[in-house]
Structure 1
Amino acid sequence: MLCAGALLPTSLIAGELTQYEAKYDILRKGSNHGTAVRSLKKLDNESYELTYHSDIEWMIFSDSRKETSKFTFKDGKVSPDHYSMVRKGTGPDKNYKIDFDKKNEVVTSSTSEYPLKCEWTDDFQDAISYQVQVREGLKKGETNFSFPLVDKKGNRRDYNFEVVGTEVISLPIGNVEAIKVKRLYDTDKRQALAWFAPEMDYMLVRMWKGEKGTEQFEVQMNSFTVTAPTATVDHTKNLQAN
């Protein structure tokens, strides 16, 4: 087993989120078809920026996208302020922004001249900020999660998850004990699983998505670096050594 707990603090400063950069392989049926990078950095006070950038090449299909979430983190709660997504590749390109105006309790989109017609809730998450909130919930021992998301057209989409167990998984960084989380869909045709490693500050280390029992893609962490204002520490070699 890894001794990651001794290597990776739950946070560099109490009450703050760990700043990091994680790199992933994107697989389909065991073959590597792309890479992804996820990073979290503190902007100021209680503000953070989460980014996820992926590049995929598969036969004649290509997909390059970057998602960015700027959010506030206070008292263990993630509250999004701004989300953007840029996508290029096979099929239509996408480029849009969503802003969460907490003062006026409205959501605006770069694709609409007026505020979106969605009922405001303080529990809103954006398309990637909810992943940070899942991590915080897992740290508290929570096993069920539900988040309301709003898309660029103002449609509310409820994301529901449940913890289904703990297992040791094999990754490029070594064997990792992880909590397995399942997304709950209205239909059994779609499946999505995610694994979070407690000994690595509950980092997302693996994802799997399928449809009608057939794998669409799998994402596996291949390196992990904790960053700080005065230092950057690559833990990948230490993890592999253990």
Structure 2
Amino acid sequence: MTASLRGRFPAIVFAWATLTLPAISALAEEARQHTGDSQQQTQQTRTQEPEYPPLLPLKASYSASMDKGISLSGSATRSLAEREDGTWIYRTDVDSFIADIEESLVLRWENNQVVPLRYRYKLSGFLIRDREEAIDFDWDNRVATGHHEGDSFSVALEDGALDPMGYQLQLHQDIRAGKREMVYRVIDEGDFDTDRFAVIDEETLQTDRGKITTVKAEKVRDADSKRQTLMWFAPDQEYLLVRLLQVEPDGSRYEITIDEAEIRR
């Protein structure tokens, strides 16, 4: 999921799109009006945190399903690996009947923060239009440049700016560190969006391999929004994402569940 499909194709990236579907316009507008306050609050929250856990190389595979009148299924693989130069490569590959997705991010991990360097996204599929997006981050000159569906863009960088993949990794690390409310400024399609998340509960999931104790989080939306995104992270497995569920306003459900994972501690 997220591979990010914010505004690209309705929730067909089974595993990752549901994390990056369009933000409620009212929430986004409010966030833009209070960007300075949000950034200051976010930075203050980070400085109050104790020691963050280090990044851990991982590879996880998921089964994905979509029920929208008919049931469809696919698979997704997500990996995180450190490179020889000290940067990291974060990848998602989705394979389904409807679409294939390749998404990657080269990043640095500095001061408990994902620092995106190079983001790439490609969607190709059956009876749908191919989509591509690229973002290059020039932190020395404080500018991000790229293209979305053939249109070029240039955006002035804010402190803590993230991309459609980087904020997902930051969310994982923030929850591992014990945070319960998170706000991210994300560049996608040539502009900034504000994404908010909150940990809301602890829950035990019954799986084919037995019971798993999880921390349950949600994407915070407007009170009148009928879309719901829920995520379950397993503390005993370094807070690995083990389930994600999105319910659309029309009742359609999109879900991923973990099959297997390898974490190198």
TM-score if structure 1 supplies the norm length? 0.79
Report the alpha carbon displacement of residue 115 of structure 1 after superposing the two structures with TM: 5.0
> What's the counterpart of residue 235 of structure 1?
none
Taking a change above 3 Å as real, the CA distance of residues 93 and 114 of structure 1, as seen in their structure-2 partners, is closer
Aligned pairs (5 A) from 1:174-193 = 174-186=210-222, 187-193=224-230
> What's the counterpart of residue 10 of structure 2?
none
Paired residue type of 1:35 = S
Report the alpha carbon displacement of residue 170 of structure 1 after superposing the two structures with TM: 2.5
1:168 aligns to 2:200 (yes or no): no
Which of 2, 18, 23 matches 2:61? 23
Residues 53 and 173, structure 2, Cα contact 8 Å, conserved in 1: no
Paired residue type of 2:128 = G
Report the alpha carbon displacement of residue 215 of structure 1 after superposing the two structures with TM: 3.5
Distance in 2 between residues matched to 1:174 and 1:24, nearest whole Å: 17
Taking a change above 3 Å as real, the CA distance of residues 128 and 171 of structure 1, as seen in their structure-2 partners, is farther
Gaps of 5+ in 1: 1-13, 229-242
- Aligned structure 1 segments of 4 or more residues deviating by more than 4 angstroms: 29-32, 111-115
Q: State the number of aligned residues.
A: 209
Distance in 2 between residues matched to 1:227 and 1:70, nearest whole Å: 19
Report the alpha carbon displacement of residue 31 of structure 1 after superposing the two structures with TM: 5.8
Residues 40 and 50, structure 1, Cα contact 8 Å, conserved in 2: yes
The structure carrying a bigger helix percent of its residues is 2
Aligned pairs (5 A) from 1:2-81 = 16-29=54-67, 33-44=73-84, 46-57=86-97, 62-81=98-117
> What's the counterpart of residue 202 of structure 1?
239
Comparing 128-137 with 157-166, which one deviates more in the overlay?
A: 128-137
Residues 171 and 222, structure 1, Cα contact 8 Å, conserved in 2: no
> What's the counterpart of residue 255 of structure 2?
218
Q: CA RMSD in A?
A: 2.3
The structure carrying a bigger strand percent of its residues is 1
Residues 137 and 145, structure 2, Cα contact 8 Å, conserved in 1: yes
TM-score if structure 2 supplies the norm length? 0.72
